[in-house]
Structure 1
C-alpha cells in the first residue's frame, strides 16, 4: 500500500461521494457526510479495486478511477441504509 495512492483514492472518493450526493438527492448524507463517506469508500474500496483494476489500468488513472468508484458505491450504500432506517 502506497501512501500517495491512498491519498489520491481518498480525494477521488470524496469527489465521487459529493457528486453522487448532489446527483441523487434521495441518498445524500449532507455535503460533509457525502465527502466523508466518499473518502472512506475511496480509500478502502479503492485499495481493493486497485488490486483487480491495477492490472488493466495502471498508475494515477487507476487510483482515481478506483477511488471515485469506491466513493460513489459507499456513499450510495450509506444513503440507502439511512433511508431504510429513517422510515
Structure 2
C-alpha cells in the first residue's frame, strides 16, 4: 500500500462523496456524512480498483508521479461517490 496514493484516494473520495450527495436531496447525507462515506469508499474502493486494474504495481515502484495522482483521484473519486450514493439511498429507503 502506497500511503501518498491512499491520501489522494481519501481526499478524492470525500470530494466524490459530496458531489454524489448533492445530486439529490434523498441521497444527501450532509457535508460531514458525504465526506466520511466518500473518504471510506475512496480509500477502500480505490485500493480495490487499483488492484483490479493493475495500477498498484506501478505506483509502488515509481513513487508519487502525475499518473499515480490521476489514477488515485479517479479511482478514489468514483468509488467514494458510489459509496456515498449507496449509503444515501439505503438511508432514504429505510428511514420511512
Alignment TM-score, normalising by the size of structure 1? 0.91
Unmatched 5+ stretches in structure 1? none
Counterpart for residue 70 of structure 1: 79
Aligned residue number for residue 13 of structure 1: 13
Deviations 1:12-52 (A, max 9, x none): 00000011111222101111100110000000000001112
User: Is 2:43 the counterpart of 1:43?
Assistant: yes
Runs of at least 4 residues of structure 1 off by over 6 A? none
* Bigger radius of gyration: 2
- Indicate the RMSD between aligned Cα atoms, in angstroms: 1.3
Aligned equivalents of 1:79 and 1:2: distance in 2?
A: 29
Matched-pair contact (CA < 8 Å) for 2:20–2:82: no
Name stretches of at least 5 consecutive residues in structure 2 with no aligned partner: 57-66
